[in-house]
Amino acid sequence: MSAPLRLMAVHAHPDDESSKGAATMARYVAEGVEVLVCTLTGGERGSILNPKMDRPEILENIGEVRRLEMERAREILGVRQRFMGFVDSGLPDDESEPLPEGCFALQPIEAASAPLVAAVREFRPHVILTYDDDGGYPHPDHIMTNRVSVEAFEAAGDPDRYPGTGEPWQPLKLYYQMGFTKERFEALHEAMNARDMGSPYADWISRWEDRPQKWPVTTRVPCGDYFEVRDEALLAHATQVDPDGFWFVCPRELQREIWPTEDYHLARSLVDTELPEDDLFTGIHAEEVSPACH
């Protein structure tokens, strides 16, 4: 028997795993893939975005509440999850405002990457998912998440780097999350308007910067059958997700009809593949193990 395929998703905060690639993970779990979510911070500086949860006792214990939410979401998705131990940097209102001392985004790159390198060497993923170099959106923790994910991908297989963090292991593919594209939201917007539903996306699309997409979509993973699991995991993050809010305006059935995939950019590959892809493990299925670099 071949060894199971393994997927690692690297995220900045609790709830990011449920809003970015959750249906993909749920699909692969159902197919027998081992999935580990690495959450780099505890989300301690996150705002309460659900008015129903905006209570003083929750705000005072937001770090612990978000850990409990993460555990529930993990159970729903069927994945393993671990925190990497860093402190949320927050999102300053003003770009000139300094970040809090000791926060994740201010860590030296090797200090920030070492726990993730150790996790890669222990879990031995074939594929890693993370954000692009703009962070998907310019939150300092998301940008730093890209940096440490790329560092871990490139360093984990090198026995001379990060000594004391386990035996070398070289992942084979690195992907950037591409779920929030103008193309996707325009398609959903047009479909909702065509059915006289009214679209919540018009203002967002009108403010979209008119520039070429920096990282083109290379890989579309069919996972519409798992959108309900994705939404359940999102709702588990009750402080962050309003059940009456933006995330749930477009009916799931319409999403399955118009855009039944979650989308990615293949940023690194050590195996042969042909683009476009419909599977993150294209080129890996015949591999029983992934050799470390020597």
- Output the known binding site for Zn(2+): 13, 16, 142
Residues annotated in the binding site, as ranges?
13, 16, 142
Three-state secondary structure of the chain: CCCCCEEEEEECCCCHHHHCCHHHHHHHHHCCCEEEEEEEECCCCCCCCCHHHCCHHHHHCHHHHHHHHHHHHHHHHCCEEEEEEECCCCCCCCCCCCCCCCCHHHCCHHHHHHHHHHHHHHHCCCEEEECCCCCCCCCHHHHHHHHHHHHHHHHCCCCCCCCCCCCCCCCCEEEEECCCCHHHHHHHHHHHHHCCCCCCCHHHHHCCCCCCCCCCCCEEEECHHHHHHHHHHHHHCCCCCCCCCHHHCCCHHHHHHHCCEEEEEEEEECCCCCCCECCCCCCCCCCCCCCCCC
Return the number of other C-beta atoms located less than 10 Å from residue 210's C-beta: 5
Q: How far apart are CA 86 and CA 94, in angstroms?
A: 23
Name the one residue in this structure whose structure tokens are 């879990």: 123
Phi, psi of 177 (to 5 degrees): -65, 135
